[in-house]
Amino acid sequence: MKLKNGAEYIESLRKVHPRIYYKGKRIEDVTRHPATAPHVRAAAMTYALANQAKYKDLATATSHLTGHTISRFTHIHQNIEDLIKKIKLLRVLGQKTGTCFQRCVGFDGINAAYSVTYEIDQKYKTDYHERFKRWLIGIQDENKMVVGAMTDPKGDRSKTPAQQSDPDQFVHVVERRPDGVVIRGAKLHMTGSVNSHEILVMPTTALDAQSKAYAIVCAIPIDAPGITLIFGRQAGDDRRDQLERIDVGKPRFGAVGGEAVIAFEDVFVPNEKIFMDGETEFAGLLVYRFAAHHRANYGACKTGLMDVLTGAVSYLSQIQGASQGSHVKDKVTEMIHLSETLYSSSIACSAEGKPTPSGAYLVDTMLANVCKHNVTRFHFEVARLAVDIAGGFIATLPSEYDLESEEVGHLVQKYFSGVADIPVKERIKIGRLIEAMTGGTAMVESMHGAGSPQAQRIMILREGRLDEKIKLAKALAGIPGKKRKK
């Protein structure tokens, strides 16, 4: 691996020059700008763990393409063990950062594209899969971070991509050249995009035959001509300055994943970086497999966050002298129960994984959707319980400026004290951490990341095997298995 640790990863970002804007101004260095630097440090943790003996088995893998030791985030799942190690790694990273570490979307896109390009080649005798493998070997050997770019703006959602009055509402090919294509459009909510090295562009939905121009999968350097990124605002982002480190809540690793808009304005893609081009019938399969892999993640990474949140409210209750209250113990127990239930769901869909025709393994898609759907409920309930235990002070705390003030600092010290011998500053730090982890961007991402709750419900019903369940009921009731007349 060329990029061997977090420091080398951070330094590598200073050698690329993407066009990034935040609050109307251009960011020249994402590794130092207060809005983006925390997200860079969170992603750097994925590199750091690969060098720690305790986690190396989880954080690295052996490439089936080259035999080289690579980051697990660039690996193609070869068996159930790979799927489970991924889940274990994500929980550890959630515990270490308390936030999104951003490499999962690219990781899942790589695995989905690997299997689907194989099947396209089998049908059409194309060479997408070989192209993809050549590109992937470069990503593995360089240990580059890839942003998976899937979600389009969508425009009028009652219309297909080809029916839009503005065709750019979905990324599409606008020009074909002998050596490649030119694409235009945008991708929204792209986690980790401003601190990635390359973009893996994928369709966002199943496509009909009229939408061939939208059936494009390709790889593009993050700083390619024609690409503009607009970094999104997050709750509390104006607190990220040197004077209010406590008020940030998580000063080192930031709020969630650092999402951005990626606009493609006539971006050229060479043939060797094109992995699907017009094969509309495979777009839905790609989205389906990507979504399954990505939804499986949430019961792991979010469990890691919930572990931190459970620890934070438990310590706060000790500071406040409430840790022995029966209601506090009961609520903490429920937080643990919900966390472990989610984690078991991620493990289950991985343990039930099966190989695709390419040999790459895919999680159990039904259980993956159940897993993510539970996240949209359980994480919110854990957050609610945390706020319940913490009390209202996490929403009304004076700022760090007040704590350090010569005029009123002594009042903050006096009236925010708790159990003797525990510094007031620790209570405030933990309170701010709970505030950061239970409000704003963090919870929205849990709801809508990897698809909204309704997307999972659609898949759960679709894969519910109702016909088989009806047969089971009829058999036990002694009802003949006759086919219904249509």
Query: For 111-138, what is each residue's pLDDT tens digit?
Result: 999 999 999 999 999 999 999 999 999 9
Residue 248's pLDDT is 83
478 located within any domain: no
> At 472, is the pLDDT very low, low, confident or very high (cuts 50, 70, 90)?
confident
Cβ–Cβ under 8 Å, residues 181 and 216: yes
371 is catalytic: no
310 is catalytic: no
Q: What CATH number has the domain bearing residue 74?
A: 2.40.110.10
Both 299 and 365 in one domain: the answer is yes
Residue 485 class from Cβ within 10 Å (0-12 exposed, 13-18 middle, 19+ buried)?
A: exposed
Across 5-29, average pLDDT: 96
Both 276 and 337 in one domain: the answer is no
Domain that holds residue 299: 286-466
Cβ–Cβ under 8 Å, residues 65 and 133: yes
Both 331 and 260 in one domain: the answer is no
189 located within any domain: yes
Q: Of 225, 256, 280, which residue sits at a domain end?
A: 280
Q: What CATH number has the domain bearing residue 458?
A: 1.20.140.10
191 is catalytic: yes
Active-site hit among 99, 100, 303, 361 = 100
259 is catalytic: yes
Residue 235's pLDDT is 77
Both 312 and 255 in one domain: the answer is no
Residue 471's pLDDT is 83
The total number of residues shown for the chain amounts to 486
Tell me the longest C-alpha to C-alpha distance in the chain. 84
Across 6-12, average pLDDT: 96
Both 270 and 303 in one domain: the answer is no
Residue 123's pLDDT is 97
Both 216 and 292 in one domain: the answer is no
Q: Of 251, 280, 309, which residue sits at a domain end?
A: 280
Question: Would the pLDDT of 478 be above 90?
Answer: no
Both 274 and 325 in one domain: the answer is no
304-329, pLDDT tens digit by residue?
Answer: 999 999 999 999 999 999 999 999 99
484 located within any domain: no
Both 120 and 32 in one domain: the answer is yes
Please list the helix, strand and coil fractions of the chain in percent, rounded to the nearest 5, in that order.
55, 15, 30
Q: Of 280, 298, 318, which residue sits at a domain end?
A: 280
47 located within any domain: yes
CB atoms within 10 A of CB 401: 12
C-alpha 309/C-alpha 303 separation (Å) is: 10
Both 69 and 136 in one domain: the answer is yes
Residue 467's pLDDT is 81
Both 52 and 143 in one domain: the answer is yes
473 located within any domain: no
Tokens of 454: 């309704």
Render 10-59 in DSSP notation, one character per residue: HHHHTT---EEEETTEEES-TTTSTTTHHHHHHHHHHHHGGGSTTTHHHH
Q: What residues does 352 pair with on adjacent strands?
A: none
218 is catalytic: no
Residue 380 class from Cβ within 10 Å (0-12 exposed, 13-18 middle, 19+ buried)?
A: middle
Residue 442's pLDDT is 60
Active-site hit among 97, 151, 191, 280 = 191
Residue 148's pLDDT is 96
Active-site hit among 46, 198, 301, 400 = 301
Residue 485's pLDDT is 57
Tokens of 253: 């690793």
472 located within any domain: no
301 is catalytic: yes
Across 376-383, average pLDDT: 90
Both 238 and 313 in one domain: the answer is no
242-296, pLDDT tens digit by residue?
Answer: 666 788 888 888 766 688 999 999 999 999 999 999 999 999 999 999 999 999 9
389 located within any domain: yes
Both 245 and 306 in one domain: the answer is no
Active-site hit among 47, 214, 298, 315 = 298
C-alpha 178/C-alpha 194 separation (Å) is: 31
175 is catalytic: no
The mean predicted confidence, pLDDT, of the chain is 91
> At 447, is the pLDDT very low, low, confident or very high (cuts 50, 70, 90)?
low
Residue 445's pLDDT is 61
pTM: 0.90
Active-site hit among 33, 77, 294, 373 = 294
443 located within any domain: yes
298 is catalytic: yes
Q: Based on the structure, what is the number of domains in the chain?
A: 2
Active-site hit among 9, 36, 77, 104 = 104
C-alpha 382/C-alpha 306 separation (Å) is: 7
User: Which of 51, 50, 52, 93 minimizes the C-alpha distance to 72?
Assistant: 50
